[in-house]
Amino acid sequence: MKKCIAVLAGDGIGPEIMKEGLKVLDAVAKKFDHTFEYKEALVGGCAYDRYGHPLPDETKKICNSSDAIYFGSVGGPKWESLPAELTPERGALLPLRAIYGLFANLRPAVIFGPLADAASLKSERLKGGLDILIVRELTGGVYFGKNKVKSLILKEGAVQGDYAVDYMIYSVTEIQRITKIACEAAMKRNKKLTSVDKANVLESSKLWRKVVIDYVQRNYPEVQLNHMYVDNAAMQLATNPKQFDVIVTENMFGDILSDLASAITGSIGMLPSASLSETGFGLFEPIHGSAPDIAGQGKANPLAQILSGAMMLKYAFGLNKESNAIEQAIMGVLEDGYRTGDIASVGTPKDKILSTSSMGDKVAEYLHKLKF
């Protein structure tokens, strides 16, 4: 198979972890006889410094001619004072989602067995590991709704000042298509789906719940569906996460819950994500930020970037065996005690604590040794 990949490494630790992600993809290509062509482009703060915009036309042209986008990380203090539309996150990531219709965000929250002790919950609550998939609607809701700020001039003695309004808007079609993605994922797992909303307060959530119930009953009757208010869902994730398998929710709730779920696993340096369109085109990135404080020091954990590459192989290219091979290689590396600094314990031998590049080398090495 031959595929063209837009490589957007971004800012901070992005370039160094992307290097390791490509290293492992090259190992996959060699082992399974595929050809991956990489087209690199600037995005985020580095793109602003060069072109005056975090998502320049040249970058969009490269993405348009590619089969998937492999994304690193963007942002940093250097660009925080820019106008909102020119900040790396708002000026690059949000437009990429809109341009390519990336409406479905898939974020696994997985605890690898060898890292169970690093999790934030007591081990008895995570016995047997943890494997949750959060399916977040990504292009609707309050983040993409109309917003406005107005000044109030009131009568003497009354409160004066600005007020702000944000609209949380969802259509039946938007809810149906994200429900379909969640149901398809549930069917491949344990046929269990939790829909999270705030239907006791929000009209958009009342519609959400009504549409989800109807869609699942008509199209996926095998899926066990239950509902949970977002505040209760947050509490349950923090105290009893193993009750969940696949969670589907709207944009802002998904943003919050997926970060909470990632904290439970012990390190955001281990967690990938995929953002998909209806055509299967996608953007694949680690969930962590650009970590400019450790950039260039060889301290960054590249495993989330590498696992994002595995998700790209699975969801964009349909290469399930190759994706599983990357996961198996990482499991082997961890089982043999190798760690980056962020996931090392007090008892980890110094010779098992690896730099960014050494971890990438180790994963590629273990992948090469796998037998199929």
10: left (phi over 0), alpha (psi -120 to 50) or beta: left
Locate tokens 């995005």: which residue?
Answer: 43
Catalytic residue among 26, 131, 166, 259: 259
Catalytic residue chosen out of the listed positions 11, 67, 255, 342: 255
What's the token pair of residue 19?
A: 């290097």
Tell me the backbone φ, ψ of residue 105, rounded to 5 degrees. Answer: -105, 120
Distance in angstroms (rounded) separating the CA atoms of residues 182 and 318: 18
Cβ pair 12, 290 in contact under 8 A: yes
**Which bin fits 319, alpha (ψ -120 to 50), beta or left (φ > 0)?**
beta
Is there a catalytic annotation at residue 255? yes
Residues whose CB is less than 8 angstroms from the CB of residue 34 and which lie 6 or more positions away in sequence, other chains included = 1, 2, 3, 28, 319, 322
- Compute the distance between CA of residue 241 and CA of residue 27 in angstroms, rounded to an integer: 35
Helix (H, G, I), strand (E, B) or coil at 109: strand
Q: How far is CA 15 from the centre of its chain?
A: 18
Token reading at 5: 């990949």
Pure H helices in 156-302: 172-187, 203-219, 230-239, 251-265
Query: Which residue, 287, 258, 281, 277, is CA-closest to 73?
Result: 287
Cβ of 24: how many Cβ atoms within 10 Å?
A: 26
CB 109 within 8 A of CB 263: no
- Name the 3-class secondary structure at 208: helix
State residue 130 phi and psi, 5-degree precision.
-140, 135
Asked if 19 is an active-site residue, the reply is no
166 among known catalytic residues: no
Check 70, 143, 220, 366 and give the catalytic one: 143
DSSP-derived secondary structure for 240-272? -GGG-SEEEE-HHHHHHHHHHHHHHHS-GGG-E
231 is catalytic: yes
198 catalytic per annotation: yes
Pick the catalytic residue from 231, 321, 336, 352.
231
| Catalytic annotation, pick one of 3, 67, 170, 198 | 198
Which residues are known to be catalytic?
143, 198, 231, 255, 259
